[in-house]
Amino acid sequence: MPLWLGAGKLVLASQSESRHAILAAAGIPHEVEPAHLDEREIEERAGVNDAARVAALLAREKALAISGRRPGTLVLGADQTLAVGTRSLSKPRDRAAAREQLMHLRGRTHELHSAIAVARDDLIMFEHRDVARLTMRDFSDAFLEKYLDAAAAA
């Protein structure tokens, strides 16, 4: 019995391989159409800096951006943000930034805020957000360098 009962495919407004894999594994037929938004500009324009609200805002904006180009189609936007206390962390731009972020996370509990939004015809039909609290182990500097080497090779 198919999980997806919709007449058409869902459109995933993301280029995330993980999100694509989750939908595929769930048996949900979908197309991928990344929104290609300037996420930092959207955050600044909205004046939002709380990690949970940023994730929700970006999920909505991604869904709405594609929904406007795909009449009658359900569009799924999703985003995740990471925060340690009041400090939000973005994707590191290079190895040095990744090292700095991982050192900041080492031995600390952080929050991963996830949000989704489903839009059709420029209207948000459904939204959800959740948070996972994770504690990173207190790893050695040698482990950190091996991890960064492995990530660079992938």
pLDDT in tens, 39-85: 989 988 988 889 999 999 999 999 999 999 999 999 999 999 999 98
Catalytic residue (choose from 50, 79, 121, 141)? 79
DSSP 114-135: EEEEEEETTEEEEEEEEEEEEE
Is 79 catalytic? The answer is: yes
pLDDT of residue 90: 86
Domains in the chain (CATH in brackets) are 10-153 (3.90.950.10)
**Bridge-partner residues for 76, per DSSP?**
12, 118
Contact by Cβ (8 Å): 104, 45: no
Nearest to 121 by CA among 65, 60, 68: 68
Q: Is the pLDDT of residue 1 over 60?
A: no
Residue 2: its pLDDT value, please?
55
pLDDT of residue 114: 97
- Whole-prediction pTM: 0.86
The predicted structure's pLDDT at residue 49: 83
